Structure 1
Amino acid sequence: MNFRHLKFFVATAESGQVSRAATQLSISQSAVTSAIKELEAELGAPLFVRSAQGMELTEAGRDFLASSREILEKLDQAKRLTQKRSPVKGTISIAATYTVIGYFLPPHLDRLNQFFPNLDIRISELNRESIEEGLLSNRFDIAVVLTSNLNNPEIETQTLLRSSRRLWAANSHEFIRQGKATFEDISKQDYIMLTVDEAAHTTMRYWSLSAYQPNVRLRTSSVEAVRSMVANGQGVTILSDMVYRPWSLEGKRIGTAATDQGIPSMDVGLAWRKGIELSRAVNSVVEYFNETFLAPKSH
Structure 2
Amino acid sequence: MILMDTRQLKAFVTVASTRSFTKAAEILDYAQSSITGQVGSLENELGIKLFERLGRQVVLTQKGQRFIKYAEKIINLSYDAKEAVSDLLNPSGTMIIASPETLAAVRLPPLIHHFHNHYLNVELIVKKCHPKEITSLLRNNQIDVAFFLGREMNFPDIVSEILLFEQMTLVSSPHHPITGKIPVTIQDIQGMTLILCEEGCGYRDAFEKVLYKAGVQPGTVLEFDSIEAIKKCVIQQLGITLLPRMAVEGELNRNELTDLQLQGADFDMNTQIVYHKDKWISPALSAFLKHSREILANRVS
Same fold (TM over 0.5): yes
- Deviation string, structure 1 residues 131-170 (Cα, Å, up to 9, x no partner): 2122123332211222527332210111112211121011
Write the letter of the residue equivalent to 1:268.
T
Write the letter of the residue equivalent to 1:201.
D
Question: Which of residues 194, 197, 202 is equivalent to 2:197?
Answer: 194
C-alpha contact 2:166 2:269 (8 A) present in aligned 1:
yes
Structure 2 counterpart of 1:92: 95
Q: Which runs of 5+ in 1 are unaligned?
A: 1-85
Alignment of 1:222 with 2:226, yes or no, is yes
Structure 2 counterpart of 1:274: 277
Question: Which of residues 110, 120, 126 is equivalent to 1:123?
Answer: 126
| CA–CA separation in structure 2 for the residues paired with 1:234 and 1:91 | 43
- Deviation string, structure 1 residues 206-230 (Cα, Å, up to 9, x no partner): 2222121222242222222321222
Matched residue SS, 1:122: strand
Question: Which of residues 228, 235, 241 is equivalent to 1:231?
Answer: 235
Structure 2 counterpart of 1:29: none
Same amino acid, percent of matched pairs: 20
Structure 1 counterpart of 2:251: 247
| CA–CA separation in structure 2 for the residues paired with 1:152 and 1:278 | 19
Write the letter of the residue equivalent to 2:220.
V
User: Root-mean-square deviation (CA), in Å?
Assistant: 2.8
Alignment of 1:109 with 2:119, yes or no, is no
| CA–CA separation in structure 1 for the residues paired with 2:197 and 2:299 | 34
Structure 2 counterpart of 1:208: 212
Using the size of structure 1 for normalisation, the TM-score is 0.62
Matched residue SS, 1:108: helix
Give aligned pairs, total: 211
Q: Which runs of 5+ in 2 are unaligned?
A: 1-88
| CA–CA separation in structure 1 for the residues paired with 2:249 and 2:122 | 33
Matched residue SS, 2:266: coil
Change (3 A) 1:222 1:295: closer
Deviation at 1:174, TM superposition (A): 5.4
Write the letter of the residue equivalent to 1:91.
T
Deviation at 1:295, TM superposition (A): 4.1
| CA–CA separation in structure 2 for the residues paired with 1:111 and 1:196 | 33
Deviation at 1:243, TM superposition (A): 1.3
| CA–CA separation in structure 1 for the residues paired with 2:129 and 2:233 | 26
| CA–CA separation in structure 2 for the residues paired with 1:139 and 1:192 | 32
